[in-house]
Structure formats: structure tokens, C-alpha cells
Amino acid sequence: MPLYRDQAIVLRTQKLGEADRIATLLTRANGKVRAVAKGVRRTSSRFGARLEPFSHVDLQLATGRTLDVVTQAETMAPYGEAIATDYARYTAGTAMLETAERLVAEEMEPAVQQYLLLVGGLRVLASGERDPGLVLDSFLLRSLAISGYAPTFDACARCGEPGPHRSFSAGAGGMLCSSCRIPGTASPTPETVELLGALLTGDWSTAETIDPRFRKAASGIVAAYLQWHLERSLRSLVHVER
Ligand SMILES: [Zn+2]
């Protein structure tokens, strides 16, 4: 079997047979890869503990007929230890892994920007330097932007009228001016909109100076925006399979 090396974040693992696991990986060079890790559920396994969710690993894989096989695994950064011991970090990190798996839909299609964003996000999350909720929301907005769904938090999403504006619509792609406003839009406060814009661009010095009481409203907007796009992508996938 031909061998190849790659670096990866472990997104998810599932049991396979008596002693094996299937690991879903987001790799640097090959995008999403599902690979069999043989014997990793035995206590004598050489690399079992290295292939846990959140782990940043350097791998050697063998190309298989259906699934590739992990033949070597070296830990680059065991983010799982620092993330799993803190509830807020763990819930934020789990949502990051799930979103990365959903937004990188196709296997074996390079998604290097998504990979680098996830590595950077998990590193910050594990370090405990920043609020886990802000790390998550920034990751979600930037991950959606990489996927082609960048929201606008300044100019009107429909006509381009310079902001700031008062209405947000997930379906329209961001803020709407008073002329373009449609029924059912949210009306976030100016501070919430400023926070969202800072999280999208990774402007931490602005994001962290905005009063923390606006974080919950910003999270609600991010969740609604993510939900809207994931449901649409799911529907389009169902459509393709028919
Ligand atoms: Zn407008």
C-alpha cells in the first residue's frame, strides 16, 4: 500500500470491531480523511492515546481501498488534555470540531485554510488566554467566511450602504439598512454588532474591550447564522444524493 505523511487534528473517533477505531481527521494537505487506527483500543497500543479528539498529530498513513490506515502517529500538541479538563473549553472545542467536520464536506479535498484556523483556535482555547465563548464565536464566523459565507457587520448586505446598521438577517447575509430591512430581522445593539465585526476579523483588542454583557447576544447571532448555513448545506447535500 502506498504511504503518505500528513499533519492533522483528530475531529472524531468511532469504534470499529473489537480493538480498532476509525478516526476522522482534518489534515493539512489532504483535507478531511477517515482512517483506521488498528489495535488502538488495546492498552498495549503504541499510539492509541495520541489519536483522541483535539489532538494535533503528525501521521503516516497507508492508502487503502476504502479507508486509509494509520501506520504511525506522533503527538505535536496534546490540546485534548487542556481542553477536556475545563467544561467551557470542552463545549467550545467540541462545537469547533463538529463545525469543521460539517463545513469541510468532501473527503480528500485540501482545506488548508480551515485546517490552519482550527489549529490556531484549539491552541488559543487550550492556552486559556481568552474567553472560550469568544474563541468559539470567532472560529465559527471565520470558518463560515472561509467556506464562502462571510457575513457583513458594517455595510448593508443587500445594497452596500455604509454602516453601522441596526437590523440583522441570517438569510440576507448580515446587517441590513433601513431601506432593505425585511420582516423577521434581529435588532442587535451597536456594541453587539461591533463585537461580531471584531470576532470576524480576529481583532482581539477590540473584542475584549467591549463589555462582556454583549457576548451572549453576539453568540445568539452567530448560532443563528451558522444554523441557517448548515441547514442549507445539508439540504443541498440531500438534493445531490437524490
Ligand atoms: Zn441596504
Q: For residue 221, what is its C-alpha cell?
A: 447571532
Give the pLDDT confidence of 37-94 residue by residue, as tens digits. Answer: 988 877 777 677 789 999 999 999 999 988 999 999 999 998 999 999 999 999 999 9
- Residue 210 Cα to ligand 1 middle (Å): 26
- Residue 234 Cα to ligand 1 middle (Å): 29
Give the pLDDT confidence of 87-128 residue by residue, as tens digits. Answer: 999 999 999 999 999 999 889 999 999 999 999 999 999 999
Cβ contact 51:32 at 8 Å: no
Cβ contact 33:59 at 8 Å: no
Mean residue pLDDT across the chain: 92
Instruction: Report the alpha-carbon distance of residue 185 to residue 140 in Å, rounded.
Output: 21
- Residue 211 Cα to ligand 1 middle (Å): 28
- Residue 215 Cα to ligand 1 middle (Å): 26
- Residue 221 Cα to ligand 1 middle (Å): 19
Element (H, E) at 15: strand 3-16
Report the percentage of the chain scoring pLDDT > 70: 95
Helices (H) and strands (E) in the chain, counts: 7, 7
- Residue 72 Cα to ligand 1 middle (Å): 54
Give the pLDDT confidence of 140-156 residue by residue, as tens digits. Answer: 999 999 999 999 999 99
Bond prior to 110 in cis (omega within 30° of 0): no
Residues with Cβ within 8 Å of 67's Cβ and at least 6 positions away in sequence, in order, are 22, 34, 35, 36
11: number of Cβ within 10 Å: 22
Residues, the chain: 242
Residue 235 — very low, low, confident or very high, per pLDDT cuts 50/70/90?
A: low
Indicate whether 241 pLDDT > 70. Answer: no
Residues with Cβ within 8 Å of 213's Cβ and at least 6 positions away in sequence, in order, are none
Residue 138 — very low, low, confident or very high, per pLDDT cuts 50/70/90?
A: very high
- Residue 168 Cα to ligand 1 middle (Å): 11
